[in-house]
Structure 1
């Protein structure tokens, strides 16, 4: 009986194993392909790489049989991280070709299963390395690891611009944000080199956040592959929210939903109206020198200001303003900042942390912009936020100018 006949008999017996287990020993004949020791198929198949050699990761991996010497039945290719390479096998089994890019500078193991003209199984295992990338795309996550407020977005700064939508999808899928508890969140492409991540709603208090990049070695574009990047760990603290009503001249501060202080304030006077909207605390400075020249004001001033909590890069603060105590709670007389007594400013400074929320309502000022003057991310509604994701099917790119941290123009 030929090998082919034995193979058909074995296949027929295999169908009987489950319903007729008592007869399974009748199929245990010696020598059929399913039980045969695979032969060495090294002489039967070729790869576009030699064992121990390096191949170009920008080219597909190809495996083929020599002439008409049998056929390929299966190919498994994995890198050292356990990532599989998808591929397609031709209908006649003579050629397999990868359909996903190889990683650069990676070690691969390829296991090829074959079958000769008599149906006998063969095996070949090949190990090889891919060439290092010509150019690496690295990611710098922000902010620094630590404890932040519920409004703190995660930022990702890329070392090179990524414009192509398919390349953006590759990058975005490799930027991993894990949190406990889990949240509904997503990345937003601010521009070609900057992404922000935020939940749909503020982070839950006491959330643990871990951010990492899985881009290392992955092909992003022509001659551009992902490089290694340092991970990020954040702890979200209590939910601290300060809402300033410019109309009633009062700031209400809450911790985890409970009001803990109501503070008389003064905000921007006409022509210097404080921006409306949600802002995120960027920095805390115990002393700042504020001058009229820094904001181009015709009203001259040059003041040393204490307990200054920054909410925009252009110089909007919550700070001590002992010179305006008589107007606090009654009128808006500042040049854009939120002023309060020294005692209240010190209490506010000591109570809040980076990432906490400061919201202004009922001001005559414009709305806080999203990305060019600090973290105005929460002023973008969720539907629009998701449209600037590369992996949302119905989304489309929405660009913006990145925040320019060099524009430190204090307002008083």
Structure 2
């Protein structure tokens, strides 16, 4: 049909003047005079084309991640423009002219208005135009996730988990876990799990990291709904290496600490630990930081309040102030009796050796009862939970990851293996005590 024209009033469904010369006809929009209203009896002159837009026009809570799709039913799109504060969004038209889709991977800002203008013609050459807006979701908060205990391009011990704290409780756990993509240079079975208050996601392998493993985390979380009110405002990435397996096993009865590298004993060191009322925590701990020379002091109200300046070779084990460190003032106690206020202390010479031989992520196991059980909220304590306990707080369960990312779901948990007295037990075995 050549030169057919019809008119119809209306803001979002108006039919405009169209000049059609072929299937890919140009559309000319009348721009000056008022639109003429079609009478009830002129239905045959109305365009049969229907334009559908996703997200819904007039929406005030559109996703910042979902593609924008403009589709013509009973017609062909001749023009589409989606425009925001920074200009027109890129997109592609399908070969048949029926669907326009925004560029894959496009991320829109929160709380931003976009105008959609689209024109389609039906088989008779009659045009329909849509012109309206939608606005992206406005969250109550848009926290940017980060990592705790780790940073890029550092080598850690086999016990270092990947810890991602959030500012509020996460209820959409499965989607968050699914977007935390891991690749490793060696196959590793592990799982994400959540803190009791749902504010921290942590990944740990089933049985420690293999030595000499490269680990990469690509957490594309921007725009992910975290709970009823909050959305992630950024992504989280991490690139690190796992080095040798260094373990320090403390016998709280003999007060000897056996240091091993890759399961081979290297040194036995006499130590002292927390005296009655200041007991050292039991179980498996992970070195979180090497702090060197620091000042230590008791909490306010401690009946034995003290301030110790220049405590050398200090290695942090817990968030509540437990360290490995030199204590030359306690020389008589090493290997003989419990003297400290909770720390594991030794001679300056031995502390210097341990400081040089260790790194964050190495394991310290107090292998026996001290009178103070381990606490979940006290540093890196993930290895004190059995594998079934760990999986019970995971939304997506165990998985095997490798150089190509997730390889497969992991098999069902197996029975715990017995632990040797001079090495840190596998993660499936609860810590002694």
1:256 match: 262
1:282 to 285, 288, 292: 288
Q: Report the CA distance between 1:48 and its aligned residue.
A: 2.6
TM-score (norm: length of structure 2): 0.62
Structure 2, unaligned runs of 5 or more: 1-21, 28-46, 77-95, 115-121, 124-129, 399-433
SS in 2 for 1:350: helix
Deviations 1:117-138 (A, max 9, x none): xxxxxxxxx9x99744423343
In the superposition, relative to structure 1, how do residues 162 and 337 fare at CA in structure 2: closer, same or farther (>3 Å)? Answer: closer
1:354 match: 360
Deviations 1:94-122 (A, max 9, x none): xxxxxxxx996899xxxxxxx98xxxxxx
In the superposition, relative to structure 1, how do residues 225 and 321 fare at CA in structure 2: closer, same or farther (>3 Å)? Answer: closer
1:141 match: 147
1:390 match: 395
2:159 match: 151
| C-alpha separation in 1, matches of 2:305 and 2:54 | 73
SS in 1 for 2:239: strand
SS in 2 for 1:139: coil
In the superposition, relative to structure 1, how do residues 157 and 344 fare at CA in structure 2: closer, same or farther (>3 Å)? Answer: same
Which structure shows the bigger proportion of residues in helix conformation? 1
| C-alpha separation in 1, matches of 2:241 and 2:98 | 44
In the superposition, relative to structure 1, how do residues 364 and 103 fare at CA in structure 2: closer, same or farther (>3 Å)? Answer: same
2:34 match: none
2:218 match: 212
1:226 match: 232
1:58 match: 62
Q: Report the CA distance between 1:58 and its aligned residue.
A: 3.4
1:375 to 368, 371, 380: 380
Alignment of 1:8-407 (within 5 A): 44-48=49-53, 58=62, 80-81=103-104, 131-135=135-139, 136-142=142-148, 143-145=150-152, 146-159=154-167, 161-164=168-171, 167-190=172-195, 191-220=197-226, 224-291=230-297, 293-294=298-299, 296-299=301-304, 301-304=306-309, 305-370=311-376, 372-392=377-397
| C-alpha separation in 2, matches of 1:243 and 1:76 | 65
The answer to whether the Cα contact below 8 Å between 2:62 and 2:135 also exists between their aligned partners in 1 is: no
Deviations 1:308-332 (A, max 9, x none): 1111121111111222222212222
In the superposition, relative to structure 1, how do residues 218 and 333 fare at CA in structure 2: closer, same or farther (>3 Å)? Answer: closer
Q: Report the CA distance between 1:202 and its aligned residue.
A: 0.9
Deviations 1:330-352 (A, max 9, x none): 22222211121110011111111
Q: Report the CA distance between 1:266 and its aligned residue.
A: 1.2
Q: Report the CA distance between 1:279 and its aligned residue.
A: 0.6
RMSD: 4.3
2:429 match: none
| C-alpha separation in 1, matches of 2:384 and 2:136 | 42
Structure 1, unaligned runs of 5 or more: 1-36, 84-101, 108-114, 117-125, 394-412
| C-alpha separation in 1, matches of 2:275 and 2:308 | 18
2:13 match: none
The answer to whether the Cα contact below 8 Å between 1:58 and 1:222 also exists between their aligned partners in 2 is: no
Q: Report the CA distance between 1:272 and its aligned residue.
A: 2.0
SS in 2 for 1:374: coil
The answer to whether the Cα contact below 8 Å between 1:179 and 1:208 also exists between their aligned partners in 2 is: yes
The answer to whether the Cα contact below 8 Å between 1:133 and 1:223 also exists between their aligned partners in 2 is: no
The answer to whether the Cα contact below 8 Å between 1:79 and 1:106 also exists between their aligned partners in 2 is: no
In the superposition, relative to structure 1, how do residues 82 and 314 fare at CA in structure 2: closer, same or farther (>3 Å)? Answer: closer
| C-alpha separation in 1, matches of 2:351 and 2:242 | 23
The answer to whether the Cα contact below 8 Å between 2:282 and 2:366 also exists between their aligned partners in 1 is: yes
Q: Report the CA distance between 1:185 and its aligned residue.
A: 1.4
Number of aligned residue pairs = 322
| C-alpha separation in 1, matches of 2:358 and 2:333 | 24
| C-alpha separation in 2, matches of 1:237 and 1:346 | 20
